[in-house]
Amino acid sequence: PAFTSLNNYHQMVCGDAFEEMKQMIRENRKFDVVIVDPPSMASSKQHVDKATRAYERLASMALKLLKQEGWLVFASCSNKINPALFFKTIEQSALKEKRPLRIVERTGHAIDHPVSFDDGQYLKCLFAQART
């Protein structure tokens, strides 16, 4: 519902997200919606800290690319990053950027994808509006 008023123009960018977003920030580009959906970054517990720092960097850059009141959609499929840590990481990054988020929804697995073990909760997504 919130996205129905947005212009239907979209741009897909394929490449190293860190490099592509850095370039867009240098160009002072701004978007109504930024979707960040990186590949799995933590396949083992040894990768959790590195993955969390990567999520922080990606969130920080995504927020710099959002227009005022823009929408952030941020997903994760890293099975070693639990949902609480994932959502906390993105929300703290927003506060550091002075772009607090109005959380619209936090999602995980659909009902037809039951989770019966801890690492099974690997799908996570945050839908939020960035404030200024």
CA–CA separation, 39 vs 33, rounded Å? 19
Q: How crowded is the C-beta side of 125, counted as CA atoms within 13 Å?
A: 16
How is residue 47 written in tokens?
């990768």
CA–CA separation, 78 vs 121, rounded Å? 9
Sort 130 into a burial class: Cβ within 10 Å, 0-12 / 13-18 / 19+: buried
Q: What is the pLDDT of residue 56?
A: 97
Q: pLDDT per residue over 85-109, tens digit each?
A: 999 999 999 999 999 999 999 998 7
How is residue 71 written in tokens?
């929408």
Q: How crowded is the C-beta side of 50, counted as CA atoms within 13 Å?
A: 8
User: pTM of the entire structure?
Assistant: 0.86
Q: Residue for token digits 């960018």?
A: 13
**Beta-strand pair 31-36/124-130:** unpaired
Q: pLDDT per residue over 10-56, tens digit each?
A: 778 888 999 999 999 999 999 999 999 998 888 899 999 999 999 99
